[in-house]
Amino acid sequence: MLKSRMQILTLGIVLAVGVLVAACSGDGPPSVPVREQPDQLAERSLAGVRGIVDPNNSGWPRSVEGLNGMVSIPAKPERIITASIGHDEITLALVPNERLVAVGEVTKILTYSNVSDLVQDKAVITRDPETIIAEAPDVVVTSPFYPAEGIDALERAGIAVIQTELIQTPESRINAILLMGYIFGEEERAWEFADEIQARFDALVSVTAAKESKPRVLALTQYSDTLWVAGADSTEGGVIDAAGGINAAAEAGIQGNQTTSLEGVIAMAPDVIVIAQPIEFGAEEFRQSLFDNQALAEVPAIKNGAVHVVESKHFTTLSFWNIRGAEDLARILWPDDFPDPPVATFSLAE
Amino acid sequence: MFTAVQVMRGYRQLGVSARLTIGMSILAALVLVVGLISLTLGPVDIPASHIAWIALSSIGFDVPEFGRTEQLVIDQIRLPRIVVGAAVGMALGVAGATMQGLFRNPMADPGIIGVSAGGALGAVVAIASGLTGLFFLALPVFAFVGAMGAALLVYGIAVVGGHFSMATLLLAGVAVNAFLGAIVSAIIIVLPDNAALREILFWLAGGLDSRSWEHVRTAGPLILGSTVLLLLLARDLNLLMLGDDEARSMGVRVGATRVAMLLAASLATGAAVAVSGTIAFVGLVVPHTLRLMLGPDNRVLIPMSALGGAVFVILADTVARTIIQPAEFRVGILTAFVGAPFFILLLIKNKRQVYSL
């Protein structure tokens, strides 16, 4: 009996020491966000998030550094406009739907938008700043393509305008979510959502990073007669990287989205071709034309029937939705590792 | 030692036949050389010997083995593109020379009567509606219909009331160009699809990517036919440039000849625009440069402009498709980049020799 009590005591001490050692072994916050309990989420540090001026300031007013300079946001914005489709997609993941008060026309179109079903009843804005001012937003987030004159007009109307760029590296993707969450006063939700995105990305990379032989993938589209490929630093290129492929166009020295010729396709000799082009813009016809063209018969992707029409808005969006593109592509490249369809959507803010 | 200017002066003093024989021989050889060079260059590395074997095997010679893909690249990709480039250059060169003669204005080009703007509108409608992805040749057909529609509209305005007037034609061309340009801008503004917008901008910059034998078959006969007609009317154009009364007294049916030339030039330009987009500067620079060198005789100038245009476009396209291969540059941008400074240089150097038409 005594021996038995001693065993229990010893086991208890060992467990306690083990827990203590485990608790003390962490060196500060982890570089990749780790899922935590909701009440702990808001306390995670925003240090290192580009654009946030003072990560310790969780009150109002708060300042962010946009492409248009330092911007002070006086209070938690209730009426938000994010004047690009990529920004709209992120915003709807971070704030309740009703706080996004208006969108551009493109965000409503199913062909191009991953959130079209969520915005059908919203007001429409254009590049004319008056259409934005008419919606009386507290804050406007724009892409780098919104004109400086427009930003000036909005600022003179007393609206806080932050111009940010969406870049599709894994790190920048998380940064955009955390920065926009901070702008909207939704840090807790931003951390939660960043974890969700990171987890889906990690689930891909944990499989694809270990692959020794990676297929060479060419993102190819044809609008009218012109052939386009996506090279290094393109959105589609980021999707190919995330899915564990080698971007054949980037390997050939192509930067961004460029035109090429059929001969260029032959020279790049991809193992897989993905056509990220809307069906209504002739994606299936283009796919068939590649198989019908005898000059392409020796291209590995053609020879092996590895030409796939994919959901273009998953590949071309500048928001986190291109994780879906990477998941779609990973299923094509590694069917044994990803037998099941990816989760169709992402969580929304409540 | 003769200077270039002395050589050109001597050349201009020769008879028409001699000038044609010498000039055409040189330019035809140049077309051949540039075409052959273009045939050897591209993203797929094909040795020149293989290209020779491919050519020889096509006419029945027994040659060493070469790759099937190499043959298809030459037969189906490079060669039709070079032929389309030559045809487009020929059309723009001939139409430019004709327009400059008809309008007696060295700054006239084939776009002056709305052909390019009409072609652009047709192409933009085809792209914006999504038809280009669904039907092969939708783009050239729409562009051609637009080009010819615009030309006929301008001509129709110029003959309202039964009296044809070159001044009215010119002003109608300006108005129709502006109107069609506004429609194109309106479509671009309301079009939500970024890819289509980008495609429109690319088409407007002109290019020969993905040209096939189908394009040769579509545009070739129209360009060839209208070029032959303009060559046959070159003598009459010379007389028209002296004035209507002088031309009439020399037996030229002024009205009919002018209409035939306008329609032939529009047809050639429309066919070229349909398969290449709006390639800038060729119709202006090539005839004007050749006129400075060879003189204003259209019997020499028009055929030389045909070959000169072909050389210029093939050369520009070769650079466009190889300079950043396997990506491509737009040939229309290159022709303007190269053509405009060259043209300015030529104008400055030959200020006193510029022929007033």
pLDDT digits (tens, 9 = 90+) for B10-32: 888 888 889 999 999 999 999 99
Q: Which residues of B touch A (CB under 8 A)?
A: 42-45, 68-69, 72-73, 76-78, 123, 126-127, 130, 132-134, 138-139, 192-196, 198-199, 202-203, 207, 209-211, 321, 324-328, 330
Q: Is A169 in a helix, a strand, or coil?
A: coil
Is pLDDT at A18 greater than 90 in this prediction? no
Span B44-54, average pLDDT: 92
> What is the DSSP track for B134-203?
HSTTHHHHHHHHHHHHHHHHHHHHHTGGG---HHHHHHHHHHHHHHHHHHHHHHHHH---HHHHHHHHHH
What residues does CATH 3.40.50.1980 cover in chain A?
39-202, 211-333
Q: Is A147 in a helix, a strand, or coil?
A: coil
Is pLDDT at A41 greater than 60 in this prediction? no
* Dihedral over Cα of B230, B232, B238, B243: its sign: negative
Q: So what's the pLDDT on residue A116?
A: 97
Residue A348's contacts (CB-CB under 8 Å, 6 or more residues apart) are: A92, A93, A97, A118
**What's the rounded Cα separation, in Å, for the pair B150 and B118?**
5
Q: Is B110 in a helix, a strand, or coil?
A: helix
Is pLDDT at A17 greater than 60 in this prediction? no
Asked if the bond preceding B110 is cis, omega within 30° of 0, the reply is: no
Q: So what's the pLDDT on residue A225?
A: 78
Span A191-212, average pLDDT: 94
**What's the rounded Cα separation, in Å, for the pair B4 and A58?**
78
Would you place residue B64 in the very low, low, confident or very high pLDDT band (cuts 50, 70, 90)?
A: confident
Would you place residue A297 in the very low, low, confident or very high pLDDT band (cuts 50, 70, 90)?
A: very high
Is pLDDT at B58 greater than 90 in this prediction? no
Higher pLDDT, B115 or A26: B115
Question: Which chain B residue's Cα is nearest to A266?
Answer: B44
Is B80-349 a CATH 1.10.3470.10 domain?
Answer: yes
Q: So what's the pLDDT on residue B354?
A: 53
Q: Is A307 in a helix, a strand, or coil?
A: strand
Q: What is the CA radius of gyration of chain A?
A: 24
B72 closest CB neighbour out of A106, A268, A294: A294
pLDDT in tens, A133-152: 999 999 999 999 888 999 99
Closest to B279 measured CA to CA, from B171, B128, B143, B132: B143
Q: So what's the pLDDT on residue B110?
A: 78
β-strands A69-73, A62-66 pairing: antiparallel
Would you place residue B1 in the very low, low, confident or very high pLDDT band (cuts 50, 70, 90)?
A: low
Q: So what's the pLDDT on residue A195?
A: 96
B198 interaction partners in chain A (CB closer than 8 Å):
223
Is pLDDT at A191 greater than 50 in this prediction? yes
Span B259-270, average pLDDT: 92
Taking CB atoms and an 8 Å cut-off, how many pairs form between chains A and B?
126
Is pLDDT at A31 greater than 50 in this prediction? no
Is pLDDT at A2 greater than 80 in this prediction? no
A223 closest CB neighbour out of B42, B195, B207: B195
Distance between first and last Cα of chain B: 32
Per domain, the residue ranges of chain B are 80-349
Higher pLDDT, B105 or B151: B151
Query: CA dist B249 to A204, B238, B246, B254, Å?
Result: 84, 13, 5, 10
Q: So what's the pLDDT on residue B323?
A: 93
Closest to A243 measured CA to CA, from A178, A168, A303, A193: A168
Residue A86's contacts (CB-CB under 8 Å, 6 or more residues apart) are: A143, A166, A317, A318, A319
Residue of A106, A108, A223, A277 to mutate when probing chain B, most B C-beta within 10 A: A223
| Domain A211-333: CATH superfamily, name plus number | Nitrogenase molybdenum iron protein domain (3.40.50.1980)
B192 closest CB neighbour out of A109, A227, A268: A109
| C-beta atoms of A106 and B192 within 8 A | yes
Would you place residue A29 in the very low, low, confident or very high pLDDT band (cuts 50, 70, 90)?
A: very low
Give me chain B's average pLDDT, please. 89
Question: Which chain A residue's Cα is nearest to B274?
Answer: A225
Closest to B23 measured CA to CA, from B306, B345, B338: B306
Q: So what's the pLDDT on residue A6?
A: 45
Question: Which chain B residue's Cα is nearest to A276?
Answer: B195
**What's the rounded Cα separation, in Å, for the pair B211 and A261?**
10
Is pLDDT at B84 greater than 50 in this prediction? yes
Give me chain A's average pLDDT, please. 88
Is pLDDT at B312 greater than 60 in this prediction? yes
Domain A39-202, second-level architecture = 3-Layer(aba) Sandwich (3.40)
Mean pLDDT check: name the lowest of A248-257, B42-51, B127-136, B140-149. Answer: B127-136
Whole-number percent of chain A with pLDDT over 90: 75
Report residue A305 as tokens. Answer: 């029937």
| C-beta atoms of A261 and B328 within 8 A | yes
Would you place residue B63 in the very low, low, confident or very high pLDDT band (cuts 50, 70, 90)?
A: confident
Q: So what's the pLDDT on residue B351?
A: 65
Span B186-202, average pLDDT: 81
Higher pLDDT, B15 or A75: A75
B199 closest CB neighbour out of A223, A249, A294: A223
Residue of A224, A228, A268 to mutate when probing chain B, most B C-beta within 10 A: A224
Higher pLDDT, A8 or B162: B162
Residues B126 and A224 sit within 8 Å (Cβ to Cβ)? yes
Is pLDDT at B5 greater than 80 in this prediction? no
Q: So what's the pLDDT on residue A14?
A: 46
| C-beta atoms of A225 and B73 within 8 A | no
**What's the rounded Cα separation, in Å, for the pair A197 and A190?**
10
Q: So what's the pLDDT on residue B38?
A: 96
Looking at the complex, report in whole angstroms how far the Cα of residue B17 sits from the nearest Cα belonging to chain A.
42
Q: So what's the pLDDT on residue B357?
A: 54
Is pLDDT at B293 greater than 90 in this prediction? no
* CA angle in degrees (0–180, nearest 5) for B230-B236-B241: 105
Report residue A166 as tokens. Answer: 């969406």
Higher pLDDT, B43 or A170: B43
Phi, psi dihedrals of residue B83, rounded to the nearest 5°: -65, -45
β-strands A160-163, A139-142 pairing: parallel
